[in-house]
Amino acid sequence: ITGVSSFTPDLMAKRFELLREVVPKSSRLAALWHRDNAPSMASVRELDASSAKARVAFQSFGIRSGDGLEDAFSAMTREHIEAVIVVNSALIYLERRKIAELALKYKLPAIYSGAEYVDAGGLLAYGPSYPELFRHAAVYVDKILKGANPGDMPIEQPTTFELVINANTARALGIAIPPSILARANRVIQ
């Protein structure tokens, strides 16, 4: 087995940290995740540990289908959640526009795993640079086609990450993105 993985340990902790920088007074955070996705469960556990370490209240809101999104956001409001970390999965990705709309409707700042979420109206995203991952995968394919043994090639993790911010969404939420975050951004949508 060989290849390039988009999974990176501690990525959820980094998103947690960035969201706390953007919404520093938040004391009640949530995760929105797909209940039937095992990797998402591991991410929720990582977020729970980060929250406990930071002494921040944390709740997870799992959905089984896109039909559960409105109920999840409504429940977050009832629970006085102040910011959300959206855990990536195929279902969550497919529902990214609806999630961004609901986060705005319920006035909940949210961080996502990739630029596509921010392009869909999400506030900010931090994650691997997928164009870079695809280029790296192409290099692997080239090596294999030239005779390299895939069994001798390690599975590699991403080394390039992107921070993308949607300034329009920040304004709509009434959030001033700190200059320190803006300075680190790879892209800011105006």
Farthest-apart Cα atoms in the chain, separation: 58
- Please state at what angle helix 38-54 crosses helix 11-22, rounded to 10 degrees: 50
Per-residue pLDDT tens for 33-59?
Answer: 999 998 899 999 999 999 999 999 999
Instruction: Residue 155: give its domain's CATH number.
Output: 3.40.50.2300
Query: How much is the pTM?
Result: 0.89
Q: How far is residue 166's CA from residue 123's CA, in Å, rounded to a whole number?
A: 5
Strand partners, 187: 164
Highest mean pLDDT among 1-5, 27-31, 130-134: 27-31
Residues in a beta bridge with 128: 161
Number of domains in the chain: 1
In angstroms, rounded to a whole number, what is the distance separating the alpha carbons of residues 28 and 112?
A: 17
* pLDDT tens, position by position, 17-38: 999 999 999 999 999 999 999 8
Structural domain harbouring 150: 3-189
3-state secondary structure of 178: coil
CA distance 190 to 178: 15
At position 25, the amino acid (one-letter code) is: K
Question: In 10 A of CB 116, how many CB atoms?
Answer: 17
